Amino acid sequence: MERQDLTRRQLLAAASAGSLAGLASSTIGTYGNVTNRATKLAILGGEPVRKNKSWPSWPYWDENVVDSVTKTTKSRIWCRIQSKSGTVPTFEKKFADLVGAKFCVATGSGTQALHTCVEALGIGPGDEVITSPYTDPGTISSILTARALPVMADLDCESYQLDPDDVERKINENTRAIMPVHMGGQAADMGRIMEIAKRHDLKVIEDAAQAHLAEYKGKKLGTIGDLGCFSFQASKTIACGEGGGIVANDEELMDKCYTVHNHGTSRGGRTEVAGPKYRMNEFEAAVLLGQWPGIEERFARRNANAAHLTARLKDVPGIRPQKLYEGTGKGSFYLYAMSYLKEHFNDVDRDTFLKALRAEGVSLSPYIKNGLHREPWIDHILSRPVYKKMYSKRRLKEYRRQCECPNCDRVCAEMAMIWASGPLLGTKEDMDDVADAIIKVYENRDKLRSI
């Protein structure tokens, strides 16, 4: 009953707002809530959808975390090499168990974890690693620090993940590895990426910095490739300020990672290779271990809230929640990401849309402004004698051309996301506020031009 009734009311409202043309081309009515349609946008003086309410704050802590840090302080075991049963070795075992890997080596950051893997695989000057331009600079930095060449493949515009076809196009005789980034805490197209890696005899280092406990085809992200890396930086869904971790099942390779991250010194105490000092300290691990109680419940809550939000948003014209690949299981929800397609919003630019939403009490972020293919580090490395020595003139010229990633540019222009670690621990009503605010702005899209 409601359906027909609502459709008629929507038509009347849209007609009075002069937007019948927009209605004809959209699927208005399928997304449910219409209570905000007739109300005035907060940015134009109306009542905001969300008022005087706060979001669950982040990073998470409770008395367990405080007790854990106090215990470490009093123990005087402040460095991992002081004890085999200190907080870092304990954390490594628990984290490996949590993600279903045999081994973990904890590091001081996600960037350090990635760089350790690059070195442990023997990747260095003259080698190339294919990765995404839509990521934290730490991804690229891990390859550059090894003096190898990060080659950026373009994205799938709807999932924000690496496009496997472009990855394959960019493989050459110098390519040694693929470093897929699980953007937002959702799986990259791992089925295809693993198949390409196998066919070209390449290693896979998963950048799972945002993807704790997320799943793909029954496996946790970070455990599908040769090595997987996580970040525990303050904003991440498991956080200790700054921290990182590597997981894998190959003991020999993980021993190499240990040696590299321990200034080249093996567990047996011999200094065997060149390596930085990237050890996690005991206080960082104490903060992480203090969060263990309730850790899985918090992930389940983020997933339930994300599912509710997606159900509310998926049919809103011009709002496209992140595409997930077949085989994607639970997500990490470091970000709840969506594309804003302005052609459904009277061609109003994204910043105006975000401004109108902010006035409704809901803050979405554009996230990464420019893909890394548009940042000045490329000029820096191309002008360095060391890169000119290692790669031919022809290769470096071609490299610059390969730095065009138009799909990534589009993703940067369309992205609207929630920093989800804290907010997705909120209530169903909090999620409804987000959806209601977006729908209200959509239904008043003809007024956005006056802002």
Q: Binding ligand PLP by CB under 6 A: which of 92, 136, 168, 226?
A: 136
For the record, the structure tokens of 45 come out as: 């003086």
Q: CA-CA distance, 381 to 140, in Å (whole number)?
A: 12
Check binding of 133 to ligand PLP (CB under 6 A): no
Check binding of 138 to ligand PLP (CB under 6 A): yes
222 close to 247: Cβ distance less than 8 angstroms: yes
Q: Binding ligand PLP by CB under 6 A: which of 110, 164, 245, 290?
A: 110
Residue closest to ligand PLP when measured from CB atoms: 110
Check binding of 186 to ligand PLP (CB under 6 A): no
Q: Binding ligand PLP by CB under 6 A: which of 207, 360, 409, 443?
A: 207
Nearest to ligand PLP of 110, 371 (CB atom): 110
Residue 235 CB, nearest approach to ligand PLP (Å): 7
Check binding of 59 to ligand PLP (CB under 6 A): no
Check binding of 209 to ligand PLP (CB under 6 A): yes
Residue 141 CB, nearest approach to ligand PLP (Å): 8
- Residue by residue, DSSP assigns 335-391 as EEEEEE-GGGTTT--HHHHHHHHHHTT---B---SS-GGGSTHHHHHHTSHHHHHHS
Counting residues that bind ligand PLP (by CB under 6 A) gives 14
Provide the mask over 227-266, with x wherever binding to ligand PLP is found by CB under 6 A and - wherever it is not: ----x-x----------x----------------------
Check binding of 135 to ligand PLP (CB under 6 A): yes
Check binding of 164 to ligand PLP (CB under 6 A): no
Sheet holding 335-340, edge to edge: 319-321, 335-340, 415-419
As to burial, measured by CB atoms within 10 angstroms (0-12 exposed, 13-18 middle, 19+ buried), residue 402 is middle
Q: Which residues face 338 on adjacent strands? A: 321, 416
Nearest Cα to 206, choosing from 117, 289, 291?
A: 117
Q: CA-CA distance, 139 to 119, in Å (whole number)?
A: 14
Would you give the DSSP letter of residue 109? Answer: S
Residue 113 CB, nearest approach to ligand PLP (Å): 8
Residue 364 CB, nearest approach to ligand PLP (Å): 18
Q: Binding ligand PLP by CB under 6 A: which of 109, 223, 305, 407?
A: 109
Part of the chain binding ligand PLP (CB under 6 A), chosen from 95-103, 133-141, 255-263, 290-298 = 133-141
Residues 6+ apart with CB under 8 A from 336: 184, 306, 309, 321, 322, 417, 418, 420, 423, 424
Residues 19-22: contacts with CB under 8 Å, at least 24 apart: 19/346, 19/445, 19/446, 22/344, 22/346, 22/445, 22/446
| Footprint of ligand PLP (CB under 6 A) | 109-111, 135-136, 138-139, 181, 207, 209-210, 231, 233, 244
